[in-house]
Structure 1
Amino acid sequence: MTTAAEQLHPPVLEPGDYTKYKIILGTLGVVVPLLVAVLFYYHGLFRIEGADAYLRKLPAVNAVLNSLTAAALLVGFYFIRQKNVLAHRAAMGTAFALGGLFLVSYVAYHSQVASTHFGGAGVVRGIYFLLLLSHISLAAVTVALVLFTLYFALTGQYTKHKRIARWTFPIWLYVSITGVIVYFMIAPYYPAG
């Protein structure tokens, strides 16, 4: 029996073998954060001579991408509350695309440029590291959450989509917003260039 939502908004993809997709999405959800960590901590392994000079503006670009992602998430949330599924899909697709661009930009920067250390002291330093730790920890799980949420939406499994989206939305929004805050807190310590 199909629901009214399924009749009005048919799935984009056929669900197929969920076990196969679960393995693929789960693997991506683990591999992508691990790959980012490897590139971040071992940036010298893949270093391209002179690339860092061209990539120094990427942290600011990343902050813009995070800001736009947060805005798209809020717009998508607004539209689904209004039951405007098509506008919700467009907003969430935009958030997904912006998140993908952010990930590519982030990896490009951190694979070529040495990390900048936060120079603040006292309470501000504690706040910075608390935000940074929560941001990084939640960013690692966001990849899998977003992929499964998107999969359920595209395959018309709206009950599962709604269930996981209740977790994905606030976590992804928090990661996007704290990414911008962390950028502004560390920006004064980036080398001039």
Structure 2
Amino acid sequence: MTEEISLKEKRFNKWITVISIAIPLVVALLFGYKIPNAKPLSFLPPIYAAINGITAILLVAAVVAIKNGRQSLHQKLMTTNIVLSALFLIMYVAYHMTSETTIYGGEGFLKYIYYFILLTHIVLSISVIPLVLITYSKVYLDDFESHRLWAKYTFPIWLYVAVTGVVVYIMISPYYQY
């Protein structure tokens, strides 16, 4: 049984590595590509900001659910968060492939705060990909002890990314060209 789990875990780890590298690379490549003559999808930023907000709420709800012994609800909420994160990513890339980059127009101290939040949001959004996948994979490997251990690190980072996604949108929204 241990050997079977080890082989499954190795397969999971290979896919986690591939996905964790591929997503940021593909996003970076697509971010720099503009679809010629495409109509800007300027309606997307408030939608994907809302998705970030919903993700943050559902992450907290999932923790509350598992602390109250509601494992099935926890699993559904976490799966929903992964789906929401994928939807966010698709919309984010679609927006940036059809629209000009919006520059933050604030000045002074707020500008530094905005760029600090944006930078940490971006860095942690990349690092949360393998953390989420590893944490999620531990359930399928029936390794709940490791799942809990990984979740203690994954949860606060994912929550930070979700919340700062909303904050970044609120701060930059006055500068969008609609």
TM range (shorter): over 0.9
After superposition, the C-alpha distances for 1:51-87 in whole angstroms (9 at most, x for unaligned) are 31xx111100011100010011000010111121111
> Over aligned residues, Cα RMSD in angstroms?
1.6
2:104 maps to 118
For the 8 Å contact 1:43–1:114, the answer to whether it is kept is no
- Candidates 123, 143, 160, aligned match of 2:129: 143
Alignment partner of 1:31 is 2:19: no
- Candidates 119, 133, 155, aligned match of 1:133: 119
2:63 maps to 77
Within 1, Cα distance between the matches of 2:36 and 2:131? Answer: 33
For the 8 Å contact 1:149–1:161, the answer to whether it is kept is yes
- Candidates 156, 159, 163, aligned match of 1:170: 156
1:18 maps to 9
Within 1, Cα distance between the matches of 2:6 and 2:154? Answer: 20
After superposition, the C-alpha distances for 1:29-61 in whole angstroms (9 at most, x for unaligned) are 111012112222x123xx142331xx1111000
- Candidates 63, 79, 97, aligned match of 2:49: 63
SS in 2 for 1:61: helix
How far did 1:16 drift? 4.8
Alignment partner of 1:104 is 2:90: yes
Within 1, Cα distance between the matches of 2:142 and 2:136? Answer: 10
Within 1, Cα distance between the matches of 2:90 and 2:134? Answer: 20
1:8 maps to none
Aligned length: 175
After superposition, the C-alpha distances for 1:138-158 in whole angstroms (9 at most, x for unaligned) are 001111111111111223211
1:50 maps to 38
Question: Percent of pairs identical after alignment?
Answer: 36
For the 8 Å contact 2:9–2:141, the answer to whether it is kept is no
Which residue type is aligned with residue 74 of structure 2? Answer: H
How far did 1:132 drift? 0.3
1:11 maps to none
Within 2, Cα distance between the matches of 1:69 and 1:15? Answer: 32
For the 8 Å contact 1:33–1:143, the answer to whether it is kept is no
After superposition, the C-alpha distances for 1:7-39 in whole angstroms (9 at most, x for unaligned) are xxxxxxx77532222111111011101211222
Question: What TM-score do you get using the length of structure 2 for normalisation?
Answer: 0.93
1:9 maps to none
Within 2, Cα distance between the matches of 1:95 and 1:158? Answer: 19
